[in-house]
Amino acid sequence: MTDAVQSDDILGRARVKDNAELEAYYNDLAKLDTGALWTVANSIEPWQPTPASAPVLWKNSELRDQVLRALDLVRPEDAGRRVVYLLNPKRTEVSAACGWLFSGIQVMRPGERAGAHKHAASALRFIMEGAGAYTIVDGHKINLGARDFVITPNGTWHEHGIAEDGETSMWQDGLDIPLTNALEANFYAVHPDDYQTTDLPVNDSPLTYGGPGLLPLMDKWDKPYSPLMQYRWEPTYEALLNYAKVTDGSPYDGVIMRYTNPTTGGDPMLTMGAAMQLLRPSEHTKAHRHTGNAIYQVAKGEGYSVINGQRFDWKEKDIFCVPAWMWHEHCNTSSGDDACLFQFNDLPTMTKLGFYAEQGLNENDGHQVVKTN
């Protein structure tokens, strides 16, 4: 599964040998804020993507109690958002969970509200537990249930809360904050009234745009993101079960469907995409790798994934990441039940920039050799 190391000692790569005269030249160039390309060319032009992140598994059984602890330690009014973020050990300088993606777990209790703000970064949520949670996106209030996927496109006012008669709720946040910051393009604003006031009917977005293949004849949506902001779990799971009746699925991903903007068929937001995949009982996918980073949450079932030769055993509500260009394969260890993996990723960015690349593993029947210690 490893790649053959390619030699740089060939025509077409930088292969200048250092000597005293060149060292003196490099010193003089440095004084002018310049450098000789051949001293860095091979490292800034890797033969293939060199992922900066480590694959990581965050277990709900270890994380949940720590997230709940924050309830008594900080108020949303002071924290802005009460979030425990997932920190990739190799991405600490950019606060990323994987690649250029941020992720965290947000927790709120009944009656709490987190005020409205907006930023250039896009955000999404995948609901983990609770009842009575809602989010308001540009005046569209949406009630949230477990395993629903919700979007907060870039530049939209958004706030969250839990109904007085609801339950303490938790969800996973996903944002392209590290990407937006890397591109030096982020803006942030607090709503002038702290919270949004809205006359729009509750759930108007899913009630208008969530029909099966239907759009209102009067539709005039012209924003560059989806008018459907909530993708509920039940129809998502039903769609996967139906699709599974008529497809063998992907050898690499099983039965997988991506969430779409119903007005275009494209991704719900400009920079980040999301998908739900179903692994049939005992299904073990073949390994592949592609550009783009992905962060998964186990929506249902249990199994494991092998990421660059390392095995990660997961069950419901565990979160794990697959860094760019790392081999990955998934296995549902149950012989009776299906398993579902939610993921969000930066594939829309990769695709738009012309950077999407993919490779399947053909050795070892398409499976990786698992590293043992």
- Distance of closest approach, residue 158 Cβ to ligand 1HN, in angstroms: 5
- Distance of closest approach, residue 81 Cβ to ligand 1HN, in angstroms: 4
85's CB contacts (< 8 A; 6+ apart) are 95, 97, 102, 103, 104, 105
Chain centroid offset of residue 231 CA: 16
Nearer to ligand 1HN by Cβ, of 84 and 331: the residue is 84
Pair of tokens at residue 40 = 């860095």
Nearer to ligand 1HN by Cβ, of 102 and 259: the residue is 102
- Distance of closest approach, residue 312 Cβ to ligand 1HN, in angstroms: 24
The β-bridge partners of 302 are 315
- Distance of closest approach, residue 188 Cβ to ligand 1HN, in angstroms: 8
- Distance of closest approach, residue 146 Cβ to ligand 1HN, in angstroms: 17
- What would the 3-class secondary structure string for the chain be? CCCCCCCCCCCCCCCCCCCHHHHHHHHHHHHCCCCCHHHCHHHHCCCCCCCCCCCCEECHHHHHHHHHHHHHHCCHHHHCCCEEECCCCCCHHHCCCECCEEEEEEEECCCCEEEEEEECCCEEEEEEEEEEEEEEECCEEEECCCCCEEEECCCCCEEEEEEEEEEEEEEEEEECHHHHHHCCCCCEEECCCCCCCCCCCCCHHHHHHCCCCCCCCCCCCCCCCCCCCEECHHHHHHHHHHHHHHCCCECCCEEEEECCCCCCCCCCCCCCEEEEEEECCCCECCCEEECCCEEEEEEECEEEEEECCEEEEEECCCEEEECCCCCEEEEECCCCCCEEEEEEECHHHHHHCCCCCEEECCHHHHCCCCCCC
- Distance of closest approach, residue 202 Cβ to ligand 1HN, in angstroms: 19
- Distance of closest approach, residue 172 Cβ to ligand 1HN, in angstroms: 10
Nearer to ligand 1HN by Cβ, of 172 and 285: the residue is 172
- Distance of closest approach, residue 211 Cβ to ligand 1HN, in angstroms: 28
Nearer to ligand 1HN by Cβ, of 113 and 280: the residue is 113
236's CB contacts (< 8 A; 6+ apart) are 147, 149, 257, 259, 276
- Distance of closest approach, residue 106 Cβ to ligand 1HN, in angstroms: 6
| Start-to-end Cα distance in the chain | 17
- Distance of closest approach, residue 205 Cβ to ligand 1HN, in angstroms: 17
Nearer to ligand 1HN by Cβ, of 173 and 267: the residue is 173
Nearer to ligand 1HN by Cβ, of 84 and 339: the residue is 84
Residues that bind ligand 1HN (CB under 6 A): 81, 83, 102, 104, 106, 123, 158, 160, 173, 175, 177
